[in-house]
Amino acid sequence: MLTPDTNDRLSDCLFCDLDFSNGAVAAVSGGSDSTALLLLLKNHLDRTAPAVRLLAVTVDHGLRPDSAAEARLVARFCAERGIEHRILAWSGDKPASGLPAAAREARYRLLAAAAGAEGIKLILTGHTADDQAETVLMRQARDDDGRGLAGMAPATLHDWRTWIVRPLLGTRRASLREVLRRREIGWIEDPTNVDVRFERPRMRAALARGEGERRVEEALALSAQAARERQDIGCRAALLVDALASRPAPGLIRLNRDFAAHEDSRAAIYALRILLATVGGVSFLADEARCATLFSRLRSEPLCATLSRTVVDARRTGIFLRRENRNLPAPAPPADNRLWDNRRRITLQDGPGDLVIAPLGAAAARQASLDEDIPQSLSRAALAAEPALWSGGKRLDFAGGEAGRQPVSIVPAVAPFARFLPSFDLQPATAVAALVGAPPPPAPPFNTHDGGLAWAKA
């Protein structure tokens, strides 16, 4: 862990490997971690890249009576130091359950919107090594399947366009508070952080007692090991996708029969979990145990099964994956930057007018020109579940054709990573994006090529 000798040295350790060419948004709540992040980042930029634009953003979740006043205190703090600042409010009804997750989703959405409006591609948050340990221990208590034990990624791509970076994951909170104390800077204590109605404060309270320090160190070691393993199996899965998967028709993925016989069964199962979620438009990877059982059956027999809304049709000529023709979205006007069926990202070039987006359907699929090398029944079933643009009951185009000519762009998405892509999973996500015809994710904002993994453990 980092122990600050000087602000300059600490700042350089934290930020020297980040690409600030498009500016940076710093998420600042006023707590000790985000306040230290902002001051250290400003110190680094003032010395090394004074022309870089730094924008501090405070999200007022509106969950406590004092939240608006606290946001104004952050605004004053920034103004005194010549830092540009915005306050963004989470408006609307708040959920009765799952409030921390909903607040986190709203916070990232607002931060990304603020960055996008300014043409900034990089957001920095103040998550620390303590936060990482708490995350890992909470997931361990929930009997996580292993992927989650890697904890928070050093960087996460939001909505396939904006990188959220966590430069303090290798730094303890006590070190950051010492930085603030040396400069005689206070911080806001959020009472939610000690509200034991929520899981994280309960874990934080448990770590403050007894063997807490030992548990933190063990959790961080476990996180580092799990992150290495997750990156490794992701790389192996990406190689299998590149070598053994193809897209013979819109909405249809074909796996070579060698896929089921591959000696690296762990990587093959991992790749299959990602592919099933992508084809089915499911936000989470297919269940590992059920996927392992399916993979075992693929090795020994032809079959037709459904998992994660994906029909798996194993034949002598290949293993075919397509979206099942149930529970497809109802016809509706296209909305900008929305995910249709979690499989296609919609972008409006103009207003939607009288356009409607709906599944192509079996009748229209029967009229399509199809590849002779693929069984017609497979191609038509896959095509029927693809999105099409309609106007006045007339079909204009479908996503497998030239939808870009219309006022609406409909492009494939990698469903399990469409909203949040941890840098751990960048390689398999990139491979699957190329397979389904999605645009490649933007490169992570690091000056090295390790996905930020080594950087996060500095």
Looking at residue 441, what is its pLDDT?
Answer: 97
Looking at residue 179, what is its pLDDT?
Answer: 94
Looking at residue 81, what is its pLDDT?
Answer: 96
Residue 38, amino acid: L
* pLDDT, averaged across the chain: 90
pTM for the model = 0.92
CA 318/CA 323 separation, integer angstroms: 17
Q: Which residues contact 340 (CB under 8 A, 6 or more apart)?
A: 329, 334, 346, 357, 387, 410
Is residue 453 over pLDDT 50? no
CATH 3.40.190.290 fits 7-227+448-456, yes or no: no
Is residue 399 over pLDDT 70? no
Looking at residue 456, what is its pLDDT?
Answer: 43
Say what the alpha-carbon torsion angle 302, 415, 263, 140 is, to the nearest 10 degrees: -120
Q: What is the mean pLDDT of residues 201-205?
A: 86
Pick the range with the lowest mean pLDDT from 93-102, 210-219, 362-371: 362-371
- Residue 155's alpha-carbon distances to 30, 58, 159, in angstroms, are 22, 20, 13
Q: What is the mean pLDDT of residues 222-228?
A: 96
Is residue 74 over pLDDT 80? yes
Is residue 402 over pLDDT 50? no
Is residue 3 over pLDDT 50? no
Looking at residue 27, what is its pLDDT?
Answer: 98
Q: What is the mean pLDDT of residues 121-134?
A: 96
- Residue 223's alpha-carbon distances to 3, 17, 165, 226, 227, in angstroms, are 20, 22, 17, 5, 6
**Hey, is 187 helix, strand or coil?**
coil
Q: What is the mean pLDDT of residues 72-85?
A: 97
Structure confidence at residue 53 as a pLDDT band (50, 70, 90) = very high
Structure confidence at residue 95 as a pLDDT band (50, 70, 90) = confident
Looking at residue 193, what is its pLDDT?
Answer: 75
User: Are the beta carbons of 358 and 329 closer than 8 angstroms?
Assistant: yes
**Hey, is 26 helix, strand or coil?**
strand
Structure confidence at residue 406 as a pLDDT band (50, 70, 90) = low
Is residue 302 over pLDDT 90? no
Structure confidence at residue 405 as a pLDDT band (50, 70, 90) = low
> 249-270, pLDDT tens digit by residue?
999 999 999 999 999 999 999 9
- DSSP codes, 342-359: TTEEEEESS--TTEEEEE
Higher pLDDT, 395 or 196: 395
Domain borders along the chain are 7-227+448-456, 338-412
Structure confidence at residue 45 as a pLDDT band (50, 70, 90) = very high
Is residue 318 over pLDDT 70? yes
Cβ–Cβ contacts within 10 Å for residue 205, how many? 13
Is residue 397 over pLDDT 90? no
> 182-200, pLDDT tens digit by residue?
999 999 987 777 777 778 8
> 6-24, pLDDT tens digit by residue?
678 888 899 999 999 999 9
Looking at residue 5, what is its pLDDT?
Answer: 52
Higher pLDDT, 333 or 429: 429
Higher pLDDT, 400 or 46: 46
